[in-house]
Amino acid sequence: MSLSTPGTRRKLVGQPLLYSISIFASLGVFLFGYDQGVMSGIITGPHFRKFFNSPTSVQTGTMVAVLEIGAFITSLAAGRVGDIIGRRGTLFTGAIVFGIGGAFQTLASGYTVMVVGRVISGFGVGLLSTIVPIYQSEISPPNHRGALACMEFTGNIFGYASSVWIDYFCSYIDSDMAWRIPLFIQCVIGAILAAGSLVIPESPRWLIDVDRDDEGMQVIADLHGGDPEDLMAKAEFQEIKERVMFERESGEARTYAAMWKRYKRRVLLAMSSQAFAQLNGINVISYYAPSVFEEAGWLGRSAILMAGINAIIYLFSTVPTWYLVDRWGRRSILLSGAVVMGIALAATGWFMYIDIPQTPQAVVGCVIIYNAFFGYSWGPLPWLYPPEILPLNVRAKGVSLSTATNWAFNFLVGMATPVLQEVISWRLYPMHGFFCACSFVLVYFLYPETMGIPLEEMDAVFGEDEREEAEENESERASLMSGSASISHQSIGPSTAKKASRGWVSRVMGRADNRSAYEPIADSEE
């Protein structure tokens, strides 16, 4: 069934089309969740260890971590790739590359081939983890954008949980198939995603941005129910087109340097969301969970079973955010998540410090609570927030930087954790609890709310409409006052008036006090 082939009748329009697209796109994050989890269960298996001649901890760590290195590299490149070949083309390329890496791993004849396969899969993961959030944000209506993005994160955790349970069931196979089958499943899912990416429609915003207006309008009309004369579809097309033309007429370059100069605050916020997703301790907890379960008496295959049960709880914890993200808003969820995660991490350190007979069970409980609230807050929202706040002309590049930040901190925390566990022991967990407190402060003072706001209206959220008007006034004034020194736009009228009323954190961090200033464009104004 074709969803997007030009010149044919589409069988799906409106919400069925939107949900079908989201399901196909979610396979991308399913793959990267599956690939992150599949190794944890097979590297301890007897057949795997025998085949690879009992690899050392360094060899095993390298085998797992090289995925993140590959993902970091291509997540940086994904910005340009996404702008050149489109969102759908990047999705297809990422799926194919991932499948090739999965084939290398499945057919590995030795340690080197396995590492090469992991790197290649990492290349695919970098492309997918960057382009899927962009694609989802660009095809989603403002009032459902958060929910659909959070459903995608659930797909990620579903991939992780699936890998744990597949590892568990395959552990009963008394041959090398015990580890080759879980790795081969990556290839199957990658092939399904590649095939699906050929029939889903391209992002309408990308199509309009490259002057394929008729195709862009058709996709928008299909998403609105299939009627090309629909007034809401026409209004959305016009708003996107006007934004594209405005950016072209401004003569603004689309380079990373130009993006950093003009949208530095937005880029830093996008990067910080992904950095704190890792600094808040998810990889530390994931790393420690297997040893906790063993300490509590879950040995061998039972430890994998306990990890599977924990993964199911983790998976279900992501569901409430589907309903809350477009009702409570992004800020409330991030703030509440940071509080509970910080408390759970502090409690983990405390129980390890006092070392009582109940410590193993208590730490397991803390791990489950922590995972649940991470899945509800700092798990999904750092994938939603960056593509929301970045404008179309630099969205792919900005999201590529934020995604690369995720993989860089993912690798950093993963490599540092074993060392820190030995050096500072129980203090490691309150340390990451402190990062949760830092993320609370950052969100409270610096993150504007984006719930329900069209992507083309984010300039108003960040106060950039006022800034552009001030810059125009400055330019006119400068042209009338020849020889006078240029005046900074920050010294003009409204900005100066606001500075006096802003708190010290806002002044130090450069936060515009605009959370309450934004008012969405009314339907009657479109």
DSSP-derived secondary structure letter, 109? -
Of 36-40, 159-163, 312-316, 438-442, highest mean pLDDT = 438-442
What are phi and psi for residue 250, nearest 5 degrees? -70, -15
Confidence of residue 496 (pLDDT cuts 50, 70, 90): very low
Residue 526: per-residue pLDDT = 41
Rounded Cα distance, 87 and 67, in Å: 22
Strands (DSSP E) contained in 261-349 are: none
Rounded Cα distance, 330 and 449, in Å: 6
Give yes or no for a contact between 335 and 440, defined as CB atoms under 8 angstroms apart.
yes
Tens-place pLDDT, residues 27-83: 888 887 888 778 877 887 889 989 999 888 778 777 877 888 899 999 988 888 988
Residue 494: per-residue pLDDT = 36
Residue bearing tokens 């006119």: 476
| Cα separations in angstroms, 86 against 202, 376, 403 | 7, 31, 18
| Cα separations in angstroms, 468 against 479, 488, 490, 495 | 17, 12, 11, 12
Helix, strand, coil fractions of the chain, as percent rounded to 5: 80, 0, 20
pLDDT over 50 (residue 524)? no
| Cα separations in angstroms, 184 against 289, 389, 390 | 26, 38, 37
Residue 217: per-residue pLDDT = 93
Nearest to 160 by CA among 381, 315, 329: 315
The per-residue pLDDT of the chain, averaged, comes to: 81
pLDDT over 60 (residue 394)? yes
Nearest to 122 by CA among 186, 64, 69: 69
Residue 416: per-residue pLDDT = 78
Rounded Cα distance, 31 and 124, in Å: 10
Rounded Cα distance, 171 and 187, in Å: 20
Question: What is the mean predicted confidence (pLDDT) over 87-107?
Answer: 93
Rounded Cα distance, 370 and 213, in Å: 47
What are phi and psi for residue 23, nearest 5 degrees? -65, -45
Rounded Cα distance, 102 and 82, in Å: 23
Distant-in-sequence, close-in-space partners of 321: CB < 8 Å, separation ≥ 6: 150, 153, 333, 375, 376, 377, 380, 381
Give yes or no for a contact between 244 and 392, defined as CB atoms under 8 angstroms apart.
yes
Confidence of residue 510 (pLDDT cuts 50, 70, 90): very low
pLDDT over 70 (residue 302)? yes
Residue 103: per-residue pLDDT = 94
Distant-in-sequence, close-in-space partners of 435: CB < 8 Å, separation ≥ 6: 276, 279, 280, 281
Residue bearing tokens 């015990």: 178
| Weakest-pLDDT range from 185-189, 285-289, 364-368, 454-458 | 285-289
Cα of 448 vs its chain's centroid, Å:
18
Rounded Cα distance, 37 and 31, in Å: 10
What's the length of the chain? 526
Looking at per-residue pLDDT, the higher value among 406 and 499 belongs to 406
Give yes or no for a contact between 472 and 250, defined as CB atoms under 8 angstroms apart.
no
Tens-place pLDDT, residues 410-427: 888 877 777 787 788 888
pLDDT over 80 (residue 225)? yes
pLDDT over 70 (residue 514)? no
| Weakest-pLDDT range from 284-288, 362-366, 398-402 | 284-288
pLDDT over 50 (residue 247)? yes
Helix (H, G, I), strand (E, B) or coil at 282: helix
| Cα separations in angstroms, 273 against 402, 409, 446, 514 | 8, 11, 11, 19
pLDDT over 70 (residue 250)? yes
Residue 411: per-residue pLDDT = 83
| Cα separations in angstroms, 499 against 251, 453, 469, 513 | 30, 26, 18, 9
Rounded Cα distance, 39 and 50, in Å: 15
Distant-in-sequence, close-in-space partners of 476: CB < 8 Å, separation ≥ 6: none
Residue 292: per-residue pLDDT = 59
Residue 433: per-residue pLDDT = 95
**Per-position b or e across 461-473, b if 16+ CB within 10 A of its CB:** bbbbebbeebeee
Ramachandran quadrant class, 266 (left: phi over 0; alpha: psi -120 to 50; beta: rest): alpha
Q: What angle do CA 114, 401, 377 make, to 5 degrees?
A: 85
Residue bearing tokens 């890998």: 163
Helix (H, G, I), strand (E, B) or coil at 254: coil
Give yes or no for a contact between 465 and 391, defined as CB atoms under 8 angstroms apart.
no
pLDDT over 60 (residue 515)? no
Rounded Cα distance, 28 and 33, in Å: 9
Residue 32: per-residue pLDDT = 78
Cα of 28 vs its chain's centroid, Å:
12
Give yes or no for a contact between 331 and 449, defined as CB atoms under 8 angstroms apart.
yes
Distant-in-sequence, close-in-space partners of 504: CB < 8 Å, separation ≥ 6: none
pLDDT over 70 (residue 255)? yes
Confidence of residue 300 (pLDDT cuts 50, 70, 90): low
Rounded Cα distance, 97 and 104, in Å: 11
Residue 265: per-residue pLDDT = 92
Residue 432: per-residue pLDDT = 94
Please count the other Cβ atoms lying within 10 Å of the Cβ belonging to residue 264.
11
